[in-house]
């Protein structure tokens, strides 16, 4: 039964908001929000940026700067409102002079606590979907008619050779592919450069035992969802094949086996010069926009331990590890205690290696089943689908929670997880494994947003550690390598034939340093993290992920990446920004952040 009172509250608020916005009255807009904690998150609809304005003053500032440009503004309730614990909330639809979109509103005592506004299409530049789909066949009789296959081949032969792409995406992993698909649909000429041969190779080249840690409902690519018999946790090679199929049927202009070597920007011409090596030949491209979709897990962090050159065994970063089958009966040491460290340690153990893990600082450990049942599965699962929560609704709900309040919403979930898996945590305690639930107890999702790591989604390795099958050295630093192993800060020595550094990856602006220049990398600053002032995410508070999917301090340079959920959701936001520029729609950016950290 619809809650008519809740529906009425949402409608009344939207009506007041629309009138204040259309009157160009920023103070009236701000007064509709809760005094104290209130947040307006905007994905490109108002700001041409991804911003969260916190507090009435910041909300009034954005309204003052931007409303004149985007009005007339309209908003309506999209779905029945829900009311619980003093909060009335509903999905909404919005429209501005330039865009249509959606959003989400949460009210406390009739005032807005959180508001999300998100552009989903630009007026006059809609995707050719549904009723706008192309006919495909050209009925009638036409001399010199070209078939679809001939036209497709012509496009492939021309783009990047005799016709310049408007946009070049460096990196054809799932991020580059999802963005490429959005841009193709929007008619923005785009070339994807990928150094590996085939789409999906990034996943194929990861360690053999890897399956996605996130469930299938969370992982769909834009436009083509996985079929409903697809396994809950995709094996990595299967995902690779899906990506390869996707590139083909979405007709992406994808140059595999092509390494981007350099890029430089000519500010006067508003153009990049991108050099790439393709089939042994250097090719120069001149796009207006350059997207680095080179991966968060791309620039390996390898610790510079003294004595590395003296170690007689094998050493590799986790990104170089493929399988434990070469290490049967060998002594293997994994440095690090997050996801890759656990997966690799378990893989080595399964192959009969003698495995030790070195843990320096605490790890968030949560059993995969518990995470599914108590956290992610609430929005992404068959049960959620049964409750009418489609991927689109789940995505919007996730996007509607500003990063400022996300941690506090997770706390009760982790209380439940702690209670449910008490036995595991007690066993981990006994062997000295340091676990926690994040700096403030808010768990995995927050840690991912803050630093892109710091956790293990347990699919079995925790039991191996708790049972002593994977030996553990915890609360220690590696002091140096010796010829035969590792000397630790507690004075002990761990013998090793293989050392795997599961020590993570650097910030994505490291890619800008490699491909463009250190100066540009420093100019745009660190990528990822929200300024939570916790480990790996220094303050001050920024409220949105640094540099991801939004304008950077370097004109024409963009960063895209993250997990499959983020690739799906934010590829749309980024694609609309690129489309607007392609079409010459003015895009005055509100709230370009100050750079506080260079990497």
Residues binding ligand FAD (CB under 6 A): 170-176, 193-196, 202, 206, 210, 212-214, 259-260, 293-295, 297-298, 340, 515, 561, 563-564
Q: Which is nearer to ligand FAD, 298 or 551 (CB)?
A: 298
**Dihedral in degrees, nearest 10, Cα atoms 154, 157, 162, 165:** 90
Instruction: Show the tokens assigned to 248.
Output: 């083909």
Q: Which is nearer to ligand FAD, 9 or 343 (CB)?
A: 343
Q: Report in angstroms how near the CB of residue 342 gets to ligand FAD at its nearest.
A: 10
Q: Which is nearer to ligand FAD, 196 or 592 (CB)?
A: 196
Q: Which is nearer to ligand FAD, 52 or 297 (CB)?
A: 297
Mutual orientation of helices 406-420 and 422-430 as an angle, nearest 10°? 80
Q: Which is nearer to ligand FAD, 106 or 445 (CB)?
A: 445
- In the block, tokens 């590696």 appear at 478
Q: Report in angstroms how near the CB of residue 433 gets to ligand FAD at its nearest.
A: 20
Q: Report in angstroms how near the CB of residue 508 gets to ligand FAD at its nearest.
A: 9
Q: Which is nearer to ligand FAD, 514 or 577 (CB)?
A: 514
Q: What whole-number distance in Å separates Cα of residue 460 and Cα of residue 233?
A: 14
Q: Which is nearer to ligand FAD, 26 or 172 (CB)?
A: 172
Cβ neighbors of 278 (< 8 A, separation 6 or more) are 255, 257, 258, 259
Secondary structure, 3-state, 112-143: EEEEEEEEEEECCCCCCCHHHCCCCCCCCCCC
Query: What one-character DSSP code corresponds to residue 553?
Result: S
Q: Report in angstroms how near the CB of residue 591 gets to ligand FAD at its nearest.
A: 25
Q: Report in angstroms how near the CB of residue 217 gets to ligand FAD at its nearest.
A: 12
Q: Report in angstroms how near the CB of residue 286 gets to ligand FAD at its nearest.
A: 17
Q: Which is nearer to ligand FAD, 47 or 202 (CB)?
A: 202
Q: What's the gap between Cα 560 and its chain centre?
A: 7
Q: Report in angstroms how near the CB of residue 206 gets to ligand FAD at its nearest.
A: 5
Q: Report in angstroms how near the CB of residue 416 gets to ligand FAD at its nearest.
A: 23
Q: Report in angstroms how near the CB of residue 372 gets to ligand FAD at its nearest.
A: 13
Q: Report in angstroms how near the CB of residue 202 gets to ligand FAD at its nearest.
A: 4
Instruction: Show the tokens assigned to 182.
Output: 């959005």
Torsions phi, psi for 114 (to 5 deg): -130, 145
Q: Report in angstroms how near the CB of residue 208 gets to ligand FAD at its nearest.
A: 11
Nearest to 177 by CA among 43, 322, 299, 295: 295
- Are β-strands 82-84 and 87-95 bridged in parallel, bridged antiparallel, or unpaired? antiparallel
Q: What whole-number distance in Å separates Cα of residue 171 and Cα of residue 186?
A: 20
Q: Report in angstroms how near the CB of residue 212 gets to ligand FAD at its nearest.
A: 4
Q: Which is nearer to ligand FAD, 176 or 525 (CB)?
A: 176
Q: What whole-number distance in Å separates Cα of residue 558 and Cα of residue 549?
A: 6
Q: Which is nearer to ligand FAD, 504 or 591 (CB)?
A: 504
Q: How far is CA 31 from CA 14, 17, 61, 73, 237, in A?
A: 13, 10, 12, 17, 53
Query: What one-character DSSP code corresponds to residue 544?
Result: S
Q: Give all strands of the β-sheet with 258-266 in edge-to-edge order.
A: 258-266, 271-278, 281-285
- Within 13 Å and on the Cβ side, how many CA atoms surround 582? 23
Q: Which is nearer to ligand FAD, 95 or 194 (CB)?
A: 194
- Are β-strands 258-266 and 271-278 bridged in parallel, bridged antiparallel, or unpaired? antiparallel
Exposed (0-12), middle (13-18) or buried (19+): which is 168, by Cβ within 10 Å? buried
329: alpha, beta or left, given left = phi > 0 and alpha = psi -120 to 50? Answer: left
Q: Report in angstroms how near the CB of residue 31 gets to ligand FAD at its nearest.
A: 41
Q: Which residues of 486-506 are buried (b: 16+ CB within 10 A; e: fewer)?
A: bbbeeeeebebbbbbbbbbbb
What is the number of other CB atoms lying within 10 angstroms of the CB of residue 594?
8
Query: What one-character DSSP code corresponds to residue 95?
Result: E
Q: Which is nearer to ligand FAD, 45 or 292 (CB)?
A: 292
Judge whether 410 and 448 are in contact, CB under 8 Å: no
Q: Which is nearer to ligand FAD, 14 or 500 (CB)?
A: 500
């Amino acid at each position: 039964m619809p809650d008519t009172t809740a529906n009425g509250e949402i409608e009344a608020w939207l009506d007041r908001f629309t009138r204040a916005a259309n009157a160009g009255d920023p103070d009236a807009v701000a007064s509709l929000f809760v005094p104290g904690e209130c947040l307006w998150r905007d994905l490109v609809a108002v700001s041409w940026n991804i911003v969260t304005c916190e507090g009435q003053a910041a909300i009034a500032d954005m309204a003052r700067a931007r409303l004149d440009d985007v009005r007339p503004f309209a908003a309506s309730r999209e779905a029945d409102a829900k009311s619980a614990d003093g909060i009335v909330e509903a999905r909404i639809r919005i429209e501005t002079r330039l865009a249509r979109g959606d959003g989400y509103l949460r009210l406390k005592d009739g005032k807005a606590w959180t508001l999300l506004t998100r552009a989903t299409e630009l007026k006059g530049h809609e995707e050719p979907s549904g009723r706008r789909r192309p006919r495909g066949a050209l009925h009638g009789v036409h001399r010199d008619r070209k078939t679809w296959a001939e036209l497709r081949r012509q496009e492939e032969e021309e783009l990047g050779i005799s016709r310049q792409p408007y946009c070049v995406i460096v990196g054809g992993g799932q991020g580059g592919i999802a963005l490429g698909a959005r841009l193709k649909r929007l008619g923005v000429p785009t070339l994807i450069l990928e150094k590996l041969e085939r789409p999906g190779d990034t996943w194929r080249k990861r360690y053999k035992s890897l399956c996605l840690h996130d469930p299938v409902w969370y992982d769909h690519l834009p436009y083509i969802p996985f079929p409903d018999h697809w396994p809950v946790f995709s094996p990595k090679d299967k995902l690779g094949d899906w990506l390869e199929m996707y590139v083909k049927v979405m007709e992406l202009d994808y140059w595999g086996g092509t390494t981007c070597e350099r890029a430089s920007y000519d500010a006067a011409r508003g153009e990049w010069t991108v050099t790439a090596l393709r089939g042994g030949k250097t090719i120069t491209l001149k796009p207006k926009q350059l997207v680095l979709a080179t991966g968060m897990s791309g620039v390996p962090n390898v610790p510079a331990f003294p004595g590395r050159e003296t170690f007689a065994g094998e050493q590799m970063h986790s990104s170089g590890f493929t399988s434990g089958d070469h290490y049967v009966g060998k002594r293997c040491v994994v440095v690090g205690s997050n996801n890759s460290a656990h997966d690799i340690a378990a893989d080595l153990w399964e192959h009969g290696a003698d495995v030790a893990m070195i843990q320096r600082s605490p790890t968030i450990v949560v059993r995969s089943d518990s995470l599914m049942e108590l956290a992610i599965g609430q929005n992404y699962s068959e049960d959620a689908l049964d409750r009418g929560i489609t991927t689109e609704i789940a995505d919007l709900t996730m996007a509607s929670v500003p990063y400022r309040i996300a941690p506090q919403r997770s706390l009760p979930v982790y209380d439940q997880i702690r209670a449910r898996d008490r036995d595991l945590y007690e066993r981990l305690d006994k062997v000295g494994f340091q676990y926690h639930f994040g700096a403030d107890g808010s768990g995995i999702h927050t840690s991912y947003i803050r630093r892109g790591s710091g956790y293990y989604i347990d699919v079995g390795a925790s039991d191996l550690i708790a049972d002593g099958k994977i030996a553990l050295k915890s609360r220690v630093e590696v002091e140096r390598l010796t010829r035969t192993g590792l000397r630790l800060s507690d004075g002990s020595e761990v013998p090793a034939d293989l050392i795997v550094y599961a020590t993570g990856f650097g910030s994505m602006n490291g890619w800008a340093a490699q491909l463009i220049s250190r100066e540009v990398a420093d100019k745009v600053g660190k990528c990822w993290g929200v300024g939570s002032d916790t480990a790996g995410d220094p303050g001050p508070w920024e409220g949105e992920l640094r540099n991801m999917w939004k304008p950077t301090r370097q004109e024409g340079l963009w960063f895209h990446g993250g997990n499959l959920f983020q690739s799906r959701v934010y590829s749309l936001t980024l694609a609309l920004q690129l489309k607007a520029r392609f079409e010459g729609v003015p895009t005055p950016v509100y709230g370009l952040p100050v750079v506080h950290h260079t990497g």
